[in-house]
Amino acid sequence: MRCEWCSSSNVKEVTNSVFWELPDGSRAIEINETPALNCGDCNMTYQSEKIVKEIEDQLFLIDCKQIGKLITFKGLMKIPRLLKKNYFDFTT
């Protein structure tokens, strides 16, 4: 695994808090304990593309009104989806 910012191989898996705007643009939420990568050389902490897609798909497919200002990543992923998949995602 290489750092997406500096290409170092000194990368480890961590968790952190992220702030995400809801798909309807009404507000932002904090998602705690989100899987992330941290580079020991450039000290950048970031989410992988896989995690970003998981968060975006989940927020698009659930009733976001039931989410408060703060939620854990696992709590977010446990919320039942209204649709089975994101039918508007043409990347896969």
Sequence ranges of the domains in the chain: 11-78
User: From start to end of 9-89, where are the E strands?
Assistant: 11-21, 28-39, 45-46, 70-72
pLDDT tens string 17-66 = 999 999 999 999 999 999 999 999 999 999 999 999 999 999 999 999 98
Position 87 confidence tier, pLDDT thresholds 50, 70, 90: low
Cβ atoms of residues 41 and 68 within 8 Å: no
Question: Which of 74, 9, 76, 17 lies closest to 46, judged by CA?
Answer: 17
What pLDDT is stored for residue 85 in this prediction? 72
pTM, two decimal places:
0.88
Residue with tokens 């039942």, as numbered in its chain: 80
Structure tokens at 66: 């039931």
Say whether pLDDT at 82 is over 80: yes
Rounded Cα distance between 35 and 54, Å, is: 11
